[in-house]
Amino acid sequence: MKKKRVWIIISAIVVFFFLSLMLRFMMGSVSLGEKVAVIDVGGIISKSDAYIKQIHVYRDDPSVKAIVLRINTPGGSVAPVQEIYRELTKLEKPIVASMGSTAASGGYYIACASDAIFANPGTLTGSIGVIMQFTKMKGLYEKVGLEQQVIKSGQFKDSGSIFRDLSDEEIAILQETVDDVYNQFVDAVSESRQDRLTRDEITNLADGRIFSGKQAHTHKLVDKLGNLQDAIVHAGELGNIEGTPRIVRKQRKSSLLEQILGIKQNSYFDDIINLPGVTFRYELSFGN
């Protein structure tokens, strides 16, 4: 009798396992055959590690024949954006960018690593440029009687201090650095759009202005107007996948804090916590 009961329990576990596996197949979390991988790039980009890890997973998966970047970001810090872009350019698989509601500044920079860029007509994109911001609190500290004593190794070591104004010489130095980082952005766009736009044409568009997806298409900053599904179909074609491509897409689990606050901790919230005093940013900036 005990043996029979044990076998019933084992059989139930096996059945449950196979039913769970079948459900996962039906839900699309596990796919067989040739696939298109979708990588979600969202929120303010302050780190690159998670994105690069995902890129490497799909790079090493022989069943993944093409990658779609689902971009919904206003951009972020320069270095992480460049790190993501560089890893994408190393891939030997077709890449298609699909712009969501916003794919501006650093979001557009990342899209430039793709073989084709799709945007919705109402997507906000462009904002090609660099922004450096400082918080000035000199007046506030003077009102409350706070002073700062500074001992520094060089004339410009405390450039950007909240306790004092920038000198003309400091502004010139920082502007030179901003211009250098800006030219790096233009270089990436020029390499991506070299068969569509000249560098002079790109420079004329790269003054920080934003474009709708439709305007960007007119200016040849994006290749096609279409949604995510259109981008997936195109990626499947570039990857020589016959028929409707299977899709693999990592679903990120939200932490309890994120669920309570309704935000992504690794984007805006985390960015505020870890924001250094001075940053270069490829970012769409409203009201700052």
Short-list 282, 266, 281, 235, CA closest to 109: 282
Catalytic residue among 90, 101, 157, 167: 157
* Structure tokens belonging to residue 47: 């780190």
In the chain the first and final C-alpha atoms are separated, in Å, by 75
Catalytic residue among 48, 77, 105, 190: 105
Query: Virtual CA dihedral for 222, 226, 227, 231, nearest 10 degrees?
Result: -70
CA distance 119 to 222: 7
Centre a 10 Å sphere on the Cβ of residue 7 and count the other Cβ atoms it contains.
10
CA distance 164 to 143: 14
Short-list 136, 132, 96, CA closest to 114: 96
CA distance 233 to 241: 9
Q: Does residue 105 have an active-site annotation?
A: yes
DSSP 125-191: EE--S-EE-----HHHHHHHT-------SSTTTTTT-TTSPPPHHHHHHHHHHHHHHHHHHHHHHHH
CA distance 248 to 56: 14
Q: Give the active site residues.
A: 105, 157
